């Protein structure tokens, strides 16, 4: 089988660096037969108007206004190294062209072939002679590819396709005799498009849980192909891709333990003509154990007023990953609360503290290791004093002069120490500080009726809500009677029978005295046979004195606190003589 070697094939050209002239050759082969036509084109950048300079074998060859030169019939001396220089740009890379006088040639591309590009090799006979039994050899070995025609096509070249190629075939010579012919050897070097990728962790040091991590898939693109875009695919533990894109980086914003594993990346061209994998990279995300656990208290100092909010915040200085926090009250076996959170600080709130919340607290934190405990913090719940109750050690709220009255003041609730202040009407009597449960007491020595009046007490434990006042208690003082005096009206020791006479009894002091009259040492009530005088209050009225009314009178004033405590004052004896009228 054969194919005319005069057919032109459309092949990719090489891309050139900027500012450099680009020299292309048509047909695109390193070797042409003698008398064949070839065209050199100098382009990109091409500025019309200037002259294109041409070099052959390192020497100035020609200068043309056009950017192309066609050699209609190549001769031996057209072999050589060609370069061109378009106006205003640098000389091109060279093209090595060989003009052959052989019967059979192997045509290989004049341009650099990159991985993934098609590679075409043509085995051609002189002047389009039919070649049969074509075989291709690489590095001296028959590569056992028997193409339908004279073209060997490698759809996507690999660097392993690099080597020394030649071909052989049978061809009719000038004598019209079939002869076996062998081509010259052509070296082909397939250029690496990009280097094998290497996956690395950017930055230095250990990868710590919670921190960001970036994996970079490094590869070096051939500078001649710098306009090619490469696709990166990232894999973890050889599973489905975890990331695809043109970025060389794969970001893990917050590394977790579960991100540990074996990663690799793959770099490929958009057309997938070339794909290369990195070797595996082990990522080991480290967890830092919890330490430096502390318990913070709000309000500061741990003194909270009953009913107010108490905040216990547990924090760790270091420790990564989700942390399990728990709060404990010393002496209680169960945790008050246990919570896991992706945070180094967590808060436990007691919305309204009460007395039972008083005590020592600590918290514990753990991220998988044995829990670490914080130092203990004392919490004092301050209870405002309740209005105190005032009690007095007397029955019926009565006392008498000389008594010592005990006054107690006690709030049923309130944090100690409590200061109790005692008051009588507007006057302060004194104060007592009580440092534990129990009343404050004051001994009041009753000295006079002045001590009568309203008593109250106040309780104060220094808290913002101020002191609390008891209900008033009214104490009455009974002054014992004394200094009873008996007087008569009319004055004088004699009185006419039939006249009126009034006796009165008065006391020097004494609360609400009652009066009793004695006539000749006998209770007046007991006296009989006479029209009796009338006793009203401290008065004894005689509407009409009779003879029998004469005698000794005495009054007794009395008052009492109780049937057991009776006070009496006796007046002097007043002798009354009644003078008869019948004389
Ligand atoms: C308590 O009583 C003492 C006298 O016994 C007095 O000096 C002091 O000021 C009182 N304190 C208060 C808070 O009333
Ligand atoms: C005794 O008291 C009564 C009533 O107050 C009075 O009417 C009478 O005149 C008085 N008698 C004398 C002797 O003062």
Domain match, 415 and 556 both: no
Please report the beta strands in 507-550, taking only residues with DSSP state E, as ranges in sequence order.
514-519, 522-523, 534-536, 539-542
Cα–Cα distance between 252 and 33 in angstroms, integer?
Answer: 60
CA 539 to chain centre: 93
* Residues comprising the chain, all counted: 583
- N- to C-terminal Cα distance for the chain? 200
The ligand 2 atom nearest the CA atom of 501: 13
Domain match, 221 and 76 both: no
The ligand 1 atom nearest the CA atom of 421: 14
Average pLDDT for residues 148-174, to the nearest whole number?
A: 88
Residue 7 — pLDDT band, cuts 50, 70, 90?
A: very low
Cα–Cα distance between 6 and 129 in angstroms, integer?
Answer: 10
Cα radius of gyration (the chain): 65
- Ligand nearest the Cα of residue 542 is 2
What is the whole-number distance in angstroms between the Cα of residue 501 and the centre of ligand 1?
A: 59
Cα–Cα distance between 41 and 95 in angstroms, integer?
Answer: 11
Q: Quick one: three-class SS letters along 30-70?
A: CEEECCCCEEEEEECCCCCCCCEEEEECCEEEEEECCCEEE
Distances in whole angstroms, Cα of residue 452 to Cα of each of 347, 423, 449, 511, 565: 58, 12, 6, 12, 18
Domain match, 118 and 267 both: no
Domain match, 348 and 426 both: no
In this prediction, residue 303 carries a pLDDT of 92
Q: Are strands 404-410 and 440-445 parallel, antiparallel or unpaired?
A: antiparallel
Residue 9 — pLDDT band, cuts 50, 70, 90?
A: very low
Asked if residue 43 has its Cβ within 6 Å of ligand 1, the reply is no
What pairs with residue 179 in β-bridges?
171
| Cβ pair 100, 33 in contact under 8 A | yes
Ligand 2 interacting residues, C-beta cut-off 6 A: 489-490, 500-502, 541
pLDDT over 60 (residue 8): no
Which of 24, 13, 187, 31 shows the shortest CA–CA distance to 124? 31
Q: pLDDT for 172-190, tens place per residue?
A: 777 778 888 999 999 999 9
CATH of the domain at 236: 2.60.40.10
Domain match, 50 and 176 both: yes
Q: pLDDT for 89-143, tens place per residue?
A: 889 999 999 999 999 999 999 999 999 999 999 999 887 778 888 999 999 999 8
Cα–Cα distance between 431 and 516 in angstroms, integer?
Answer: 45
Q: Are strands 551-562 and 534-536 parallel, antiparallel or unpaired?
A: unpaired
Asked if residue 431 has its Cβ within 6 Å of ligand 1, the reply is yes
What is the whole-number distance in angstroms between the Cα of residue 542 and the centre of ligand 2?
A: 9
Its sign, for the CA torsion 240, 246, 249, 250, is: negative
- Ligand nearest the Cα of residue 457 is 1
Q: pLDDT for 405-443, tens place per residue?
A: 999 999 999 998 999 999 999 899 999 999 988 999 999
> What is the number of structural domains in the chain?
5
Cα–Cα distance between 93 and 24 in angstroms, integer?
Answer: 10
In this prediction, residue 129 carries a pLDDT of 76
Q: Which residues of 236-267 are buried (b: 16+ CB within 10 A; e: fewer)?
A: beeeeeebeeeebebebeebeeebbbebbbbb
In this prediction, residue 13 carries a pLDDT of 44
Last residue of a domain, one of 380, 403, 436: 380
- pTM for the whole structure: 0.60
What is the whole-number distance in angstroms between the Cα of residue 423 and the centre of ligand 1?
A: 12
Q: Token pair of 337, please?
A: 């609360």
In this prediction, residue 505 carries a pLDDT of 96
Asked if residue 462 has its Cβ within 6 Å of ligand 1, the reply is no
Domain match, 157 and 268 both: no
Which of 424, 444, 440 shows the shortest CA–CA distance to 432? 440
Spatial CB neighbours of 300, under 8 Å, sequence gap ≥ 6: none
DSSP-H helix ranges across 155-284? none
pLDDT over 60 (residue 46): no
Domain match, 414 and 450 both: yes
In this prediction, residue 11 carries a pLDDT of 43
The ligand 1 atom nearest the CA atom of 419: 13
Q: pLDDT for 336-390, tens place per residue?
A: 999 999 899 999 999 999 989 999 999 999 998 899 999 999 999 999 999 999 9
Place of tokens 């020791």: 493
Cα–Cα distance between 238 and 247 in angstroms, integer?
Answer: 20
Residue 474 — pLDDT band, cuts 50, 70, 90?
A: very high
Please give the residue range of the domain that contains residue 211: 198-286
Q: Token pair of 16, please?
A: 């050139």
Last residue of a domain, one of 175, 191, 207: 191
- Torsions phi, psi of 470, nearest 5? -80, 170
Domain match, 18 and 110 both: yes
Last residue of a domain, one of 191, 210, 226: 191
Domain match, 523 and 471 both: no
Distances in whole angstroms, Cα of residue 5 to Cα of each of 32, 34, 126, 130, 133: 10, 14, 9, 9, 16
Max CA pair span of the chain: 218
Domain match, 33 and 159 both: yes
- Ligand nearest the Cα of residue 459 is 1
User: 271 exposed, middle or buried (CB, 10 Å; 0-12, 13-18, 19+)?
Assistant: exposed
| Residue 139 falls in which region: left (phi positive, over 0), alpha (psi -120 to 50) or beta | left
Domain match, 234 and 348 both: no
What is the whole-number distance in angstroms between the Cα of residue 1 and the centre of ligand 2?
A: 176
- Ligand nearest the Cα of residue 442 is 1
Tally helices (H) and strands (E) across the chain.
0, 56
Domain match, 45 and 141 both: yes
According to DSSP, residue 14 is labeled: P
């Amino acid at each position: 089988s054969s194919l005319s070697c005069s057919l032109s094939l459309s092949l990719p050209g090489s891309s050139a660096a900027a500012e450099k002239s680009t020299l292309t050759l048509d047909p695109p082969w390193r070797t042409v037969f003698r008398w064949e036509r070839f065209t050199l084109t100098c382009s990109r950048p091409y500025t019309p108007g200037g002259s294109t300079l041409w070099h052959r074998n390192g020497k100035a060859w020609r200068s043309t206004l056009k950017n192309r030169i066609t050699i209609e019939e190549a001769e031996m001396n057209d072999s050589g190294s060609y370069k061109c220089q378009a106006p205003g740009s640098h000389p091109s890379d060279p093209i090595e062209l060989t003009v052959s006088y052989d019967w059979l040639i192997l045509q290989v591309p004049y341009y650099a072939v990159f991985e993934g590009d098609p590679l075409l090799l043509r085995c051609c006979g002189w002047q389009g002679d039919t070649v049969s039994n074509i075989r291709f050899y690489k590095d001296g070995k028959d590569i056992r590819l028997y193409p339908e025609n004279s073209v060997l096509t490698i759809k996507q070249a690999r660097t392993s396709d690099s080597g020394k190629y030649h071909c052989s075939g049978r061809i009719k010579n000038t004598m019209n005799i079939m002869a076996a012919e062998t081509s010259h050897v052509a070296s082909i070097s397939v250029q690496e498009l990009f280097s094998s990728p290497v996956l690395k962790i950017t930055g230095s040091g250990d990868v710590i849980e919670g921190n960001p991590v970036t994996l970079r898939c490094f590869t070096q693109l051939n500078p001649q192909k710098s306009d090619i875009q490469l696709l990166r695919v990232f894999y973890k533990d050889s599973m489905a891709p975890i990331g695809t894109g043109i970025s060389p980086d794969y970001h893990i914003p917050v590394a977790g333990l579960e991100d540990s594993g074996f990663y690799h990346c793959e770099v490929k061209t958009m057309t997938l003509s070339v794909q290369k994998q990195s070797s595996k990279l082990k990522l080991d995300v480290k967890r830092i154990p919890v330490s430096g656990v502390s318990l913070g208290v709000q309000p500061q100092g741990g003194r909270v007023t009953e009913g107010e909010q108490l905040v216990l915040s547990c924090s760790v200085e270091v420790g990564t990953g989700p942390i399990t926090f728990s709060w404990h009250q010393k002496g209680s076996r169960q945790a008050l609360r246990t919570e896991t959170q992706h945070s180094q600080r967590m808060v436990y709130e007691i919305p309204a503290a009460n007395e039972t919340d008083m005590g020592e607290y600590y918290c514990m934190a753990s991220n998988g290791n044995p829990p670490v405990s914080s130092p203990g913090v004392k919490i004092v719940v301050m209870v405002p004093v309740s209005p105190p109750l005032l009690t007095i050690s007397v029955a019926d709220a009565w006392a008498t002069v000389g008594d010592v009255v005990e006054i107690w003041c006690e709030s049923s609730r309130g944090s100690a120490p409590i200061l109790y202040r005692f008051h009588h009407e507007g006057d302060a009597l004194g104060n007592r500080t009580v440092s534990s449960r129990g009343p404050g007491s004051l001994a009041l020595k009753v000295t006079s009726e002045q001590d009568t009046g309203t008593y109250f007490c106040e309780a104060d434990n220094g808290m913002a809500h101020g002191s609390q006042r008891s209900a008033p208690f009214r104490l009455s003082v009974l002054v014992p009677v004394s200094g009873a005096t008996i007087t008569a009206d009319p004055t004088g020791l004699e009185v006419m029978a039939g006249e009126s006479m009034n006796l009165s009894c008065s006391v020097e002091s004494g609360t609400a005295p009652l009066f009793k009259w004695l006539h000749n040492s006998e209770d007046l009530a007991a006296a009989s046979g006479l029209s009796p005088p009338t006793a009203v209050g401290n008065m004894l009225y005689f509407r009409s004195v009779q003879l029998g009314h004469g005698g000794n009178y005495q009054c007794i004033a009395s008052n009492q606190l109780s049937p057991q405590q009776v006070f009496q004052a006796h007046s002097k004896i007043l002798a009354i003589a009644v003078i008869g009228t019948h004389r």
